[in-house]
């Protein structure tokens, strides 16, 4: 992709994601580290497609099981990374978040209190972190979402060195 700020390929962006994810893990209330990690996690999908997979049907087959177009890649990522849809919606939300009754995320919550702060009628937490509620009203900690998606990308790069 581009060479801006020494990020020239997907493995560079993965390294940046690992850095931002570590910062966010140290302080799950750091909204700057949160959005930086989320954006890196989201944009890796595009970088991998355009920089590595788009022109390489063999690599597509090794990664996805069959060659395909960008829509097939997006479907594969969404199917193999459970939290990726949440990451996409959180990244979109960094621009203009309004819960959508048809969307993946139905609410965003943050506790500024520790020790069992009540965030909603159906949810309690023992920490002061950022959370989202999905369409099933299941709350997920954003730090866990970032960690899960980072793990997904690291494993994918490990299993398919051609992506680096």
For the chain, give me the number of helices (H) and strands (E)? Answer: 6, 5
* Closest residue by Cα to residue 86 from 128, 148, 33, 28: 148
Residue 76 domain flag: yes
Whether the per-residue pLDDT at 77 is higher than 70: the answer is: yes
Residue 56 domain flag: yes
Which of 1-10, 13-22, 136-145 has the lowest average pLDDT?
A: 1-10
Residue 1 domain flag: no
Residue 130 domain flag: yes
Residue 74 domain flag: yes
Residue 66 domain flag: yes
Contact predicate 9/47, CB 8 Å:
yes
Query: Which residues span the domain enclosing 29?
Result: 8-163
Whether the per-residue pLDDT at 109 is higher than 60: the answer is: no
- What does pTM read for this prediction? 0.82
pLDDT value for 101: 53
* Closest residue by Cα to residue 56 from 143, 160, 148: 160
> Residue 2 is encoded by which pair of tokens?
């581009």
How many domains does one find in the chain? 1
Q: For residue 109, count CB atoms less than 10 angstroms from its CB and return exposed for 0-12, middle for 13-18, buried for 19 or more.
A: middle
Residue 2 domain flag: no
| Range 1-23 average pLDDT | 84
Residue 23 domain flag: yes
pLDDT value for 147: 95
């Amino acid at each position: 992709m581009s060479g801006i700020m020494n990020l020239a390929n997907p493995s560079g962006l993965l390294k940046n994601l690992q850095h931002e994810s570590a910062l966010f893990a140290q302080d799950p209330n750091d909204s700057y580290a949160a959005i930086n990690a989320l954006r890196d996690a989201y944009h890796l999908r595009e970088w991998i497609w355009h920089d590595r997979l788009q022109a390489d049907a063999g690599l597509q087959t090794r990664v996805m099981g069959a060659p395909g177009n960008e829509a097939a890649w997006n479907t594969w990522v969404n199917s193999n990374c459970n939290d990726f849809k949440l990451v996409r919606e959180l990244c979109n939300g960094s621009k203009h978040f309004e819960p959508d009754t048809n969307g993946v995320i139905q609410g965003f919550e943050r506790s500024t209190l520790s020790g069992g702060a009540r965030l909603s009628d159906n949810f309690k937490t023992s920490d002061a972190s950022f959370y989202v509620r999905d369409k099933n009203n299941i709350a997920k900690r954003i730090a866990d979402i970032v960690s899960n998606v980072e793990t997904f990308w690291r494993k994918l790069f490990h299993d398919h060195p051609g992506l680096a």
